[in-house]
Structure 1
C-alpha cells in the first residue's frame, strides 16, 4: 500500500528515471521484486515500474484514514481527470467556485477528493486555496494564453534521437518538456496541438504542415543542444522579424525561471521556422553534451522551471500585443 501523499512510479530504480504514473495514498500495488532501496511494482491497472521502498507498507486492506484539512477552489472551468496527465480521461468539468478537499499535489497538478470513494486530478493553475470574491479577481501569470491555440513541436523522435548525452536522448527530454508546457497552456485556458505526443518520427515538412493547416496562434519547437563538453546555456531562435519579439519574451522568461546562462534570441533558417506561416520559434534548452548540464536539465525541477518559462513567455507576448 502506498504510504505517501503521492508516489512517483518510475521506469527504472533511480530518481532521474522517467515517471510512468503517479499513485495516490493508499493505492494497492503488487511487489514483483526488490533491488536495494527500490521495489518493482505492478499497479491495479497493470502498469509496472519502480518505487522507493520507504513509501510502501505491507498489510491491511483497510486504508488509513486521510483527513485533508486544506480546501481548494476552482477559479476557472477545469477538467477533473483520472490521472495527473492531459491524456487522462475526464470525469467532468468543474465550474468556478466549486470547492474540494485537497489530497495531494504533484508536478503542477492537485489531487482532490472527488467523491467518498474516488479522487481526481486538476491543473493547479485553475485552483486557489481561497475562494475568490469574483472570478475576475483571480490572477494567473499565464492568463495571456486564454483561448490561444499553441502548436507544440517536440524535436526529433522515433529513429531520430537528436543529441545524445551520457544518459539522455534529446528526443525524450523534448517530449517530457513539451507535455509540461502543454499542461501550463491548458491550465491557463489555452489549447494545445502536438506535432507528436509519443516517440514517433515526424518529418520537418510534416511538422510544418501540421502548423500551417491549423488555426494556431503560435508554434514552439522544443529542443536540447549539443556542442563541446563545456558548452552551457539556453537560447531561442526565430526566422522572421515578425517572430523576434515572441522569441525575446520566451528567452527572457526561461532565463528568469531557470537562471541558466542566457545565450540570447537569434535569427536562424531552421526549416520548421522558415516554412511556417504562424508565429514560430525554436528553443534550445541546455546542452546534453555537457555532463554536468545534462544532469541538471534531466531533473524534474528544471523541467518544471523551463516549461513554466516557455508558457509565461508566450503569455507575456500576447498580453503585450493585444
Structure 2
C-alpha cells in the first residue's frame, strides 16, 4: 500500500539519534539519547483520556495547533526486539544433529533512532507531501520541534521550514500498512475481474495442452510431431507471458489508493464529533417533549450548532470532548 491512501497521508520517519554527550565539559554530562527521552517525556500529550483531561492540567499537545494532523507519535527505538530463535522443523533438526543451545545471529541497530509517525490531511492530490505538511508543522510548533529533533544527527543543517522538511524526508520509510477507519460504507473500489484473469492465462494454456495432445497422437500413429512440439513451446511461452500480465494487473490494482471517504478531513471529523456529543445531550433533554416542543427545540439546535459550518461551533483538536 502507498503512503497516500484513503485521502490521508501516512508518514513514517526514522532519524538516527546522536550518540555523543550534550555538553562534554559539564560536571554531570548527559547523552543526547537521555536528553531526547527527557524532552519526549516533557512533551504534553493530547487531552484525550480521563488522566490527560484533568481540569487542573494546563496546555495541550503541540500537535493540537495543527488543523491537518489526525494522529501523531514520537518515540525512541533503542534497538530491535529479539523474537527468539528462528524456528525450524524438529525432525530435520534432529536428523542434522542441530544443537539448540548454539547461538544464532541476532540483529542490532547501529545506534538508537527517533521514530515519528503521523496521519494527516494532504493538500490537493498529495503531490507536494510530505514537504508541505512538515513546513506547516514547523510554522505552528517550531520551538517544540527544535527541542526534540536537536538531539538527532545533522539537525544543525536545519534553518527554516523548508530545510526542516528536506532533512526529515531523508529518513522517510514507505508506509506499507496504513490504517484508515473513516469509511462507514464499502468504498467504490471495483475489484479486478477474476474471470478476465482466468481467460488471459487459460487461453494459451489450453492451446499448449491441445498441441501436446496433438504431439502425443502424432507419436502414437507414427506421424511427424515436430510442428506440434514447436507450437506447444510457443504456447508455453505465451502462457508464461499471460501469467506475468495477470501478476502485473493484480499488483497494479492492489497499489491503487482507496478513494477519500466523505467528510474524512480533520475539520469535518471534529465537526461530526461535536454534533454527535451535542445531539446525544439533545435527545436526553427532550425525551418527554411534545412534537411541537421537539420541532422548536430542534430548530434551535440546528441554528446553534450550524451543522454545515465546519469552523463555527466545533470541537477543538486534541480534546476528547467539545
Scaled by the length of structure 2, the TM-score of the pair is 0.20
Which has the bigger relative contact order, CA under 8 A and spacing at least 6? Answer: 2
Scaled by the length of structure 1, the TM-score of the pair is 0.20
Which has a greater percent of helix? 2
Structure with higher Rg: it is 2
